[in-house]
Structure 1
Amino acid sequence: MNQAIVVGLDGSAQSEAAARWAAREARRSGRALRMVHVVDEDSVAPGPPGAPGARLPEAVAGIRDRIAAALPDLEITCERITGSPSYALAAAGERAGLLVLGSRGLGGVAGVLVGSVGLRTAGHARCPVVLVPDGADGTVGEVVLGVQGDRPCDAPLAFAFEQAARRGTVLWAVEAWTPPAGPYATEAPLEPPAIKESLAADRLVHLQDALSRWREKFPEVRTRAEVVGRGAAEAVLSASGSASLVVLGRRAPRHPMSPPRLGAVAHAVLHHAACPVAVVPHD
């Protein structure tokens, strides 16, 4: 059987939204759901196994119970573990291949998991991390893939196509492109706007080529490709208005202890998108 999808819980509304998203994804993919509540090891008082300090907080247990009642056929486990939260969550997700977290914190202790820790986890985890805002209702819309660079990477493309296939929805690949500053050296007397249009058309052909191999693997997925002349974060956020999921790539850390790094585009999208955002590491 496939490994369980891991979702981090802290009892907040954001983590409950993440648990509901993860539960739907588990059911779509035929996987179990593993709920994890992480307690910072420095804050845990020593005590015998089974002592009250080892119990799940009431808010976390309540989320578990509501998900189990809504999806009685879904295999669910829920456990409390100790450790440095971002590294414990990343490790749990890496073993399973997918980690889901709430995307906004509440401030103070209750909001640490889904706020700063959530961002740090997405910045160094070696598996895809989906961050889900409170209010994400599971509506089926496009899967938006933000494409950057001359060589779109396989890991984000594969994840986006798989998600679109499971949802039976359109994959919308968006590439932000800024034309190079003039002057332009050409043999024909073209005006700069015409040159820019020609260069943009070339970028679109390049993007379509990058999608073509994945269209062959997922023939049921309808695709849309667009090259837009605006900033990358603005382009993705504009496309995400009706999306059910945004997928972004992130270069994987070279060393397990490398500092977390999301990049400016992912950071901006995570703070402003109204739908879940998947951050997918790649080489």
Structure 2
Amino acid sequence: MTTNRRPVIVGVDGSPASFGAVRWAVDEAVRHGQPLRVTHAIAVPGAFEEAADEHEVALHAAVEARNWQPGLQITTSTWCGSPGRVLVDQSQSAALVVVGSRGMGGFHSLRIGSVGLQLAAHARCPVLVVHHAERWASPEMPLPQRQPIVVGADGSAHAEFGVELAFAEAMSRGVPLIAVRAWQEPVHRWGRATDLGRFATTAHGALAAELEPWRAKYPTVPVELRVIQGAPAPALLDVGRDALMIVLGPRGAGGFDDLRLGSVTQQVLDHASAPVLVARH
């Protein structure tokens, strides 16, 4: 996370999930010394412009945020335009954008709404998607504090953004970090036996080497390495089931260079129960 005074932006729509997202955004802003900007977007046809007359939703969320953290610097804004477009635009000057996985719109069977996916694919800063954010809409429900942070590390440049962000989050929270590397058995050819132990050992050594510079930079963060045979998304979802959050790059190794969001990141966003932090750079 950057240490400048760019704001943490949280998108609100008046739903319980958006109030839960506000609590996560307040926590992030306080821990990283950032101001908070509460943003509401009204999806109506017309110009993309600020709408001061429709400000009640953002103001109400800001009042609640001030009740939780009276000393936090908070501003509000309300815009006409699609919520995804508004927040992507605002992300250009933000340190972090926080949203609930689903707000008032969409289908209840969906784990993540279109706004979260649009941000994960196009934002110009890290994006925190808080799954089931309504769990934390009330201040009586404490935010998770001691669970580990899980990060996916496949050796790609995009994954390294996630590793860096995960170490910074773990240090700021004083929690351990679990780094996950998935590997898959190669296709058998000509009836040759595969030495699976050798592949696992190689994957473990590569993961340890990639994390070494970050362990040196963040020596107080306890780190556990998990090298798992199987597809990456199920491995991350399994390890991250009880995590404080899962941190990923926007895409990993493989796929097409012009993809904004990789299939593993999208699967984790679709199915995770924990908040997911996408390290857009």
Q: What range describes the TM-score normalised by the shorter chain of this pair?
A: 0.7 to 0.9
Q: How many residues align?
A: 263
Q: CA RMSD in A?
A: 3.0
Structure 1 residue aligned with 2:180, among 167, 174, 199?
174
Structure 1 residue aligned with 2:6, among 3, 7, 14?
3
Q: Counterpart in 1 of 2:126?
A: 128
1:14 aligns with 2:17: yes
Q: Counterpart in 2 of 1:148?
A: 154
Greater alpha carbon shift after TM alignment, 267-276 vs 138-147: 267-276
Any idea what SS the aligned residue of 1:42 has? coil
For 1:264 and 1:198, locate their aligned partners in 2 and report how far apart those are by CA, in whole Å.
Answer: 27
Which structure 2 residues correspond to residues 109-258 of structure 1 after superposition, within 5 A? 115-133=113-131, 134=133, 135=135, 137-140=142-145, 141-149=147-155, 153-183=159-189, 192=194, 195-251=195-251
Which structure 2 residues correspond to residues 88-107 of structure 1 after superposition, within 5 A? 88-107=86-105
Q: CA deviation at 1:84?
A: 3.9
Using a 3 Å threshold, how does the CA distance of structure 1 residues 206 and 79 change in structure 2: closer, same or farther? same
Greater alpha carbon shift after TM alignment, 232-241 vs 143-152: 143-152
Quick check: 2:237–2:272 contact (8 Å CA) kept in 1? yes
For 1:152 and 1:89, locate their aligned partners in 2 and report how far apart those are by CA, in whole Å.
Answer: 22
Using a 3 Å threshold, how does the CA distance of structure 1 residues 105 and 265 change in structure 2: closer, same or farther? farther
1:31 aligns with 2:34: yes
For 2:262 and 2:159, locate their aligned partners in 1 and report how far apart those are by CA, in whole Å.
Answer: 16
Quick check: 2:7–2:36 contact (8 Å CA) kept in 1? yes
Partner AA of 1:25 in structure 2: E
For 2:156 and 2:34, locate their aligned partners in 1 and report how far apart those are by CA, in whole Å.
Answer: 35
Quick check: 2:58–2:78 contact (8 Å CA) kept in 1? no
Structure 2 residue aligned with 1:69, among 41, 58, 67?
67
Q: Counterpart in 2 of 1:56?
A: 55
**Larger Rg: 1 or 2?**
1
Q: CA deviation at 1:179?
A: 1.8
Quick check: 1:8–1:100 contact (8 Å CA) kept in 2? yes
Q: Counterpart in 1 of 2:81?
A: 83
For 1:231 and 1:46, locate their aligned partners in 2 and report how far apart those are by CA, in whole Å.
Answer: 44
TM-superposition CA deviations, 1:213-265 (whole Å, max 9, x none): 0011111111111110122111111111221111011149xxxxxx9842322
Partner AA of 2:18 in structure 1: S
For 1:206 and 1:265, locate their aligned partners in 2 and report how far apart those are by CA, in whole Å.
Answer: 20
For 2:74 and 2:199, locate their aligned partners in 1 and report how far apart those are by CA, in whole Å.
Answer: 51
1:266 aligns with 2:271: no
TM-score, structure 2 as length reference: 0.83
Q: CA deviation at 1:101?
A: 0.9
TM-score, structure 1 as length reference: 0.83
Using a 3 Å threshold, how does the CA distance of structure 1 residues 151 and 143 change in structure 2: closer, same or farther? same
Using a 3 Å threshold, how does the CA distance of structure 1 residues 276 and 125 change in structure 2: closer, same or farther? same
Any idea what SS the aligned residue of 2:244 has? strand
Partner AA of 1:138 in structure 2: L
For 1:218 and 1:31, locate their aligned partners in 2 and report how far apart those are by CA, in whole Å.
Answer: 21
Using a 3 Å threshold, how does the CA distance of structure 1 residues 115 and 152 change in structure 2: closer, same or farther? closer
User: Identity of aligned pairs, percent?
Assistant: 34
Using a 3 Å threshold, how does the CA distance of structure 1 residues 46 and 177 change in structure 2: closer, same or farther? closer
For 1:230 and 1:26, locate their aligned partners in 2 and report how far apart those are by CA, in whole Å.
Answer: 36
TM-superposition CA deviations, 1:155-192 (whole Å, max 9, x none): 11110110000011111111111021224899xxxx63
Using a 3 Å threshold, how does the CA distance of structure 1 residues 199 and 46 change in structure 2: closer, same or farther? closer
Any idea what SS the aligned residue of 1:176 has? strand
